Amino acid sequence: MPLGFVSEVFWHSCKDNKFDMRILVIGNGGREHSIVWKLAQSSQVEKIFCAPGNPGIAEIAECLDIAPEQIHLLTDFAVKEKIDLTIVGPEAPLVEGIVDVFGKYNLQVFGPNKKAAILESSKVFMKCLMRKYDIPTADFRYFNDYNEARRYILSVSMPKVIKADGLSKGKGVFVCKSENEALSAIDLIMQDKIFGNAGDSVVIEDFLSGEELSLILFTDGKTILSLETSQDHKTIYDGDKGPNTGGMGAYSPVSFMTENLYHRIEKEILVPTIKAMNSEDRRYKGILYVGLMITKSGPKVLEFNVRFGDPEAQVLLTRMKSDLVPIMQATITGGLDNIDIEWKPQTSLCVVMASKGYPGRHVNGMEITGLNLFKDQDDTQVFHAGTRYNNGKILTNGGRVLNIVACGKDIRDAQQKAYDAVAKISFEGAYYRKDIGYKALLDK
């Protein structure tokens, strides 16, 4: 798995660790399961811990009874166990400054620090940064006063997109086609506080039409190393209808990404964003997720996330041929300009199996059957997202329960394999979209 020349700093790190690294992964979802799965394939890794993990992760790593928000307990564990590298899966610990805390103890951790993580924790900051540095995005206004937001809605034409300012687990975006829908969204966010303090402020932006694209990159604050493209299916119902979720499925690669389009995205969005963060004294190091809309006038930013997308990570990591550890090490040490990523020439597709009622209220504790059928399959992986173990059984324990990921020679082959696998797994109330990858099939 050639990765090109690895930086001298990284080589000495590996030499000191004798290629027997002890790694801690923070999180308990499908994204983290796929990260642990990928790390377990590295010859440099001796031991993987995961906090708190899930039953699927427990098959390949030692799970810890520590929540992602318990930063000081995680720090104590990393110091005591001499953890060589910590990888933060979810956004909340990054926003709370886990990288800064670990840094005080000279612990190596992958992810942006608190100052840089504001790129996801505040949509107001994100949008204002793009306006200041001429990074293409939808025109917008932001409000922290409920009545002012309502008055603005009554003065403009629809459709509009309304977003809670803070973290909302991918559910804080409302595409409003009518005035009543927009007013209702404002009520839910700012009055009913369905996202808590994340809804103290809102962004109201113009609706963009076109083709959505997820582009994820590694950056050490100076070099950009992009991963292959993917496309998420955010809404709950087939045909991209219904409310937004954390993601109901994804596939990779995306056929409409051309070399010219990538170079335009890199020139107009990726490079300016990293430079802008540096100019704001918020040097960004880690994974940067860029949600894009490819409009008739060109690519525009929908959102930034400061960690792997979910379920984009699942389809990307199953396609990645290169070892993940050297890439992360080089991102931390500043040697990313000497790294390349090698990809498997295949398509990967993920179907999310969710609990009945998701993204609203749902019932946990349903027994899951059929998981043992995929233990030894190379082209199909089952990543646990919301599960727990009880008395010898695997039970549902969240809205998004399982990620079924299949690899195939093309989109049709991957889709067929994924849905064949989904049909073999069952739990009461299981729900999943039946059309993951449909846009790619329309292009065929």
d(CA 99, CA 103): 6
Query: What digits encode the pLDDT tens for the residues 202-228?
Result: 999 999 999 999 999 999 999 999 999
Q: What is the mean pLDDT of residues 90-101?
A: 97
Query: What digits encode the pLDDT tens for the residues 22-63?
Result: 999 999 999 999 999 999 999 999 999 999 999 999 999 999
Query: What digits encode the pLDDT tens for the residues 403-443?
Result: 999 999 999 999 999 999 999 999 999 999 999 999 888 86
Question: Exposed/middle/buried for 281, CB within 10 Å: 0-12, 13-18, 19+?
Answer: exposed
Which residues are CB-contacts of 391 (< 8 A; sequence separation ≥ 6)?
A: none
Q: What is the mean pLDDT of residues 10-18?
A: 43
Strand order in the sheet with 211-219: 224-226, 211-219, 286-295, 298-305
Q: What is the pLDDT of residue 442?
A: 81
Q: What is the pLDDT of residue 26?
A: 98
With 80 as the cut, is the pLDDT of residue 375 above it? no
Both structure tokens of 22: 């002890």
Q: Give the CATH class of 139-206.
A: alpha beta
Residue by residue, DSSP assigns 197-218 as GGGSSEEEEE---SEEEEEEEE
Helix, strand or coil, per DSSP, at residue 254? coil
Task: Judge whether 230 and 295 are in contact, CB under 8 Å.
Answer: no
| Fold type of domain 8-113 | Rossmann fold (3.40.50)
> One-letter amino acid identity for 48?
I
User: How much is the mean pLDDT over the chain?
Assistant: 94
pLDDT-above-90 percentage for the chain: 91
Task: Judge whether 427 and 239 are in contact, CB under 8 Å.
Answer: no
Domain coordinates of the chain in residue numbers?
8-113, 139-206, 211-338, 347-442
Q: What is the pLDDT of residue 8?
A: 40
Both structure tokens of 431: 């729900």
- What band does 4 get if pLDDT is binned at 50, 70 and 90? very low
d(CA 214, CA 309): 8
With 50 as the cut, is the pLDDT of residue 182 above it? yes
The predicted model scores a pTM of 0.93
Both structure tokens of 194: 């369905």
Both structure tokens of 441: 């099939």
d(CA 277, CA 199): 24
With 90 as the cut, is the pLDDT of residue 338 above it? yes
Sign of CA dihedral 31, 355, 123, 195: negative
Task: Judge whether 39 and 62 are in contact, CB under 8 Å.
Answer: no
Q: What is the mean pLDDT of residues 1-7?
A: 33
Q: What is the mean pLDDT of residues 368-392?
A: 93
- Bridge partners (DSSP) of residue 142 are 203
Task: Judge whether 6 and 338 are in contact, CB under 8 Å.
Answer: yes
Query: What digits encode the pLDDT tens for the residues 350-364?
Result: 999 999 999 999 999
Q: What is the pLDDT of residue 170?
A: 76
- What band does 171 get if pLDDT is binned at 50, 70 and 90? confident
Residue by residue, DSSP assigns 266-306 as IIIIIHHHHHHHHHTT----EEEEEEEEEETTEEEEEEEES
With 80 as the cut, is the pLDDT of residue 1 above it? no
With 60 as the cut, is the pLDDT of residue 18 above it? no
Query: What digits encode the pLDDT tens for the residues 143-157?
Result: 999 999 999 999 999
Q: Give the CATH class of 211-338.
A: alpha beta
With tokens 């932001």, the residue in question is 142
With 90 as the cut, is the pLDDT of residue 121 above it? yes
Q: What is the pLDDT of residue 3?
A: 31
Residue by residue, DSSP assigns 116-161 as HHHHHH-HHHHHHHHHHTT--B--EEEES-HHHHHHHHHHSPSPEE
Strand duo 21-27 + 45-52: pairing: parallel
Q: What is the pLDDT of residue 444?
A: 61
C-alpha distances (whole Å) from 365 to each of 43, 281, 386, 422 are 37, 46, 10, 19
d(CA 122, CA 276): 16
Helix, strand or coil, per DSSP, at residue 175? strand
Residue by residue, DSSP assigns 350-385 as EEEEE-TTTTS------B-B-GGGGTT-SSEEEEES
Architecture of domain 347-442: Alpha-Beta Complex (3.90)
